[in-house]
Amino acid sequence: MVTMEKMLFKEGNEFNYIRHNEILSDRMTLLFIHGLGESGQCFQEVFVDRRFDTCNIIVLDLIGYGKSSEAADGDYGFEAHIVKLWKIIAYFKIHDLIVIGHSMGGDIATLLCDSDKNKKIVKFVNIEGGLTQYDLFISQEAVKAEETGNFTHWFHDEFMMAKVLGSWGQKYPSCRRYYSSLRYCRPEAFLANARELCKRSTALPGQYMSKTGRKYCSLSIPKIFCYGTESISSGTIDFLKENSLEYKAFDDAFHWLMIDKPKEFYSFLYEFVS
């Protein structure tokens, strides 16, 4: 088992809660970025997999999520998250960086890779990030609820309790863990990021409207898109095939495939990073 340490990365009145192991300068680093409403809890299995003993592991809670603070200036935008991520990367003095982003974290990781001027990032694993407009099944509902003045009720009752815990949670253990993270998520962060996900995913004309998806295609580093067969849209699968993108499907897994299929996912991840 990898020894997990915990710390607060503080800057002014803000802090990120970070789970990590011993960070050594002579080995590769795995940076995990969670999704909308989530926290670093969704990647906890990596700390009990002995194969990753030789890697630096960094799993953070984004500002507004999990055990991290609220945004001091109220800015929960992707660019603000990316600025903070680069500061955390600089703090740990890491290189040979492999980024693993889930859902919204895949979108943020795509932009992080695109902004990598010093070529620190060497590989990217995108777990159901938003490549097309066809997978906006959570963020789109949040935006619609906000437009009708119903967001607070939707977030706590319709989404968290009825859908995540009551419906999805009955079938997928991953959603019961997601519910535990949602309880600590700041609703204002969730809504701000849901708006941005919708905006970035519907910004272009044509069949595939996502700016993030186009940017993902343009990344030159080794990258792979992972998805669960229980959650991904046919439109996103078409996008992957039409753009000759490398992908890995996890059968009978929902959106949180690294929780639903931990042995399969972390075995794949170990092979990919090795």
| 161 burial type by CB count under 10 A (0-12 exposed, 13-18 middle, 19+ buried) | middle
Q: Element (H or E) spanning 33, and its range?
A: strand 29-33
**β-sheet with 14-20: strand ranges across:** 5-11, 14-20, 56-60, 29-33, 97-102, 121-127, 223-228, 247-250
SS3 label, residue 64:
coil
Give me the residues paired with residue 225 across strands.
Answer: 126, 247
Matching residue, tokens 């003095």: 93
Task: Please give the model's pTM, rounded to 2 decimal places.
Answer: 0.98
Average pLDDT over residues 209-216: 98
- State the Cα–Cα distance between residues 166 and 138, nearest whole angstrom: 16
What percent of the chain stands above pLDDT 90?
Answer: 97
Q: Which residue intervals of the chain are DSSP H helices? A: 78-92, 104-114, 139-147, 151-153, 169-171, 173-182, 187-201, 211-218, 234-242, 257-260, 262-273
Q: Do 176 and 183 form a contact (C-beta atoms < 8 A)?
A: no
How far is C-alpha 84 from the chain's CA centre? 15
Determine the pLDDT at residue 3: 78
Q: What is the pLDDT of residues 24-47, one digit of tens each?
A: 999 999 999 999 999 999 999 999
**Arithmetic mean of pLDDT, 236-261:** 98
pLDDT classification of 95: cutoffs 50, 70, 90: confident
Among 58, 60, 67, 53, CA closest to 3: 53
pLDDT higher than 90, residue 198: yes
All domains of the chain in start order, with CATH? 5-273 (3.40.50.1820)
pLDDT of residue 121: 98
Residue 199 has pLDDT above 80, yes or no: yes
Task: Assign 2 a pLDDT band (cuts: 50, 70, 90).
Answer: low
Whether residue 181 has pLDDT greater than 70:
yes
Task: Quickly count: other Cβ atoms within 10 Å of residue 10's Cβ.
Answer: 10
Q: What is the mean pLDDT of residues 139-156?
A: 98
- pLDDT band at 1; cut points 50, 70, 90: low
Which one, of 136, 249, 153, lies nearest residue 195 by Cα?
A: 136
CA atoms within 13 A on the CB side of 215: 20
pLDDT of 103-123, one tens digit each? 999 999 999 999 999 999 999
Is the Cβ–Cβ distance between 168 and 142 less than 8 Å? no
Helix 104-114 and helix 211-218: axis angle, to 10°?
A: 50
